[in-house]
Amino acid sequence: MPNTHTTQSPLTAFVDALPKVELHVHLVGSASVPTVLELARRHPGGPVPLTEEALRDFYVFRDFPHFAEVYLAVSDLVRDPEDVATLVVGTARDLAAQNVRYVELTVTPYSHQRVGMPMPAITEALDRAVRDARERHGIRVAYIFDIPAEFGEDAARGTLDHALNHPPEALVGFGIGGDESVRAKHRDAFRDAFTAARAAGLRSLPHAGEMTGPETIWEALEHYGAERIGHGTNCLADPRLVAHLREHQIPLEVCPTSNVCTGQVATIADHPLPHLLEEGLYVTLNSDDPPMFNTTLTGEYRAAAEAFGLGAADLADLARNAVRASCLDAAGQREILDEIDRVAG
């Protein structure tokens, strides 16, 4: 009889066992296919399909604006605080199964405010979900509140109000996502929001340089006080920016499969990840919106290894980068770094 047993390669086994930290993953974008189908059937009549096959077709994106349209449609299915808590705990479960020890989960509270959820109720759900994630799945969850840029000044005010006046206990950062091309129209509102958030002790963790050029990254650095950059891959177009990022070791939250799925690059092989590494930049690997892009954080490590010939030592270094770039306290970082060293040793 033929041997049908599939032997896992040593590198694949290493990636699976590697303790990880996820810095760039969105709450709504992390909703599993069954969860989205359940929400769509609970709230029918919208554009989100009701069958798995149709939903997977729905998740084939023409470009970033189309992705943003689909993301908003799914987000609008999250109608009550219990839905929010369910998404957080589900994400924690999925990440814990990949040996992820800590996640900074991006939440867009303005989207939930728009469908009528009161801020205190959202916060209560987020707080409860952190406790449940730790108790059920052994993973630590922190939150980043981000402004959906396409909603302009109202979104900036609503996100900041929630962050300052009804913050969840695990809130560590303040960000901005969505369509980068509209930021100039609301420049002062976004700058003011980041100034106030930073004054309140939140870390500045914006998206920038994903679908626009280096100018968006400079804006984030110079006017948002960015400590990390979500995506940032288009920095390579500006040698002065590359030198600045390298000198100051500003971490980049790189999401290769996401960039392929939203049309920023044609294929994984075309991704600038190896060039970012060659330039000595501070790179972390992340999954962004994993079910929408048919990926996982483990899948991103595997893809990087396969596409660019990264070995176990390279992948362990990327995992260490994510730990050190996180908002975890020194003791929490040391715990995960020691575990990575044991697996990599």
Q: What is the 3-state secondary structure (H, E, C) of 5-36?
A: CCCCCHHHHHHHHCCEEEEEEECHHHCCHHHH
pLDDT, mean over the chain: 94
Task: Please tell me the distance from the alpha carbon of residue 192 to that of residue 197, in angstroms, as a whole number.
Answer: 9
Q: b/e map of 9-40 (b: 16 or more CB within 10 Å)?
A: eebeebbeebbbbbbbbbbbbbbeeebbbebb
Percent of the chain with pLDDT over 70: 98
Percent of the chain with pLDDT over 90: 79
Q: Is the pLDDT of residue 20 over 90?
A: yes
Secondary structure of 212-244 in the HEC alphabet?
Answer: CCHHHHHHHHHHCCCCCEEECHHHHHCHHHHHH
Paired strand residues for 175? 146
Task: Please tell me the distance from the alpha carbon of residue 235 to that of residue 218, in angstroms, as a whole number.
Answer: 9
**Residue 303 · residue 337 · CB < 8 Å:** no
The predicted model scores a pTM of: 0.93
- Domains of the chain with CATH codes: 10-344 (3.20.20.140)
Paired strand residues for 107? 145
Among candidates 252, 239, 241, 245, which has minimal Cα distance to 208? 252
Q: Each residue of 267-302: pLDDT tens digit? A: 999 999 999 999 999 999 999 999 889 899 999 999
Q: Each residue of 215-260: pLDDT tens digit? A: 999 999 999 999 999 999 999 999 999 999 999 999 999 999 999 9
Among candidates 27, 257, 31, which has minimal Cα distance to 141? 27
Paired strand residues for 284? 253
Alpha helices per DSSP H over the chain: 10-17, 33-42, 52-58, 64-75, 81-96, 109-114, 119-137, 152-165, 187-199, 214-223, 239-248, 256-261, 273-278, 297-308, 312-325, 330-344
Q: Is the pLDDT of residue 138 over 90?
A: yes
The predicted pLDDT at position 7 comes to 65
Mean pLDDT of 184-210: 98
Q: Which residue has the higher pLDDT, 322 or 32?
A: 322
Mean pLDDT of 103-109: 97
> What confidence category does residue 2 fall into, taking pLDDT thresholds of 50, 70 and 90?
very low
The predicted pLDDT at position 8 comes to 75
Q: Each residue of 49-94: pLDDT tens digit? A: 899 999 988 888 888 888 888 888 888 888 889 989 989 999 999 9
* Alpha-carbon distances of 262 from 51, 60, 65, 283, 297, rounded to whole Å: 23, 9, 8, 20, 17
Mean pLDDT of 35-39: 85
Tokens describing residue 287 = 């999954």
Q: Which residues are part of the catalytic machinery?
A: 210
Q: Is the pLDDT of residue 39 over 90?
A: no
Task: Please tell me the distance from the alpha carbon of residue 171 to that of residue 163, in angstroms, as a whole number.
Answer: 8
Task: Please tell me the distance from the alpha carbon of residue 230 to that of residue 204, in angstroms, as a whole number.
Answer: 11
Mean pLDDT of 330-337: 98
Among candidates 84, 29, 90, 23, which has minimal Cα distance to 59? 29
Q: Is the pLDDT of residue 120 over 60?
A: yes
> What confidence category does residue 6 fall into, taking pLDDT thresholds of 50, 70 and 90?
low
Mean pLDDT of 209-216: 96
**Residue recorded with tokens 């500045």:** 204
Tokens describing residue 16 = 């699976």
- The phi, psi pair for 329, rounded to 5°, reads -70, 170
Helix axes of 10-17 and 297-308: crossing angle, nearest 10 degrees = 150
The predicted pLDDT at position 62 comes to 82
**Residue 101 · residue 17 · CB < 8 Å:** no
The predicted pLDDT at position 123 comes to 98
Among candidates 297, 247, 215, which has minimal Cα distance to 24? 297
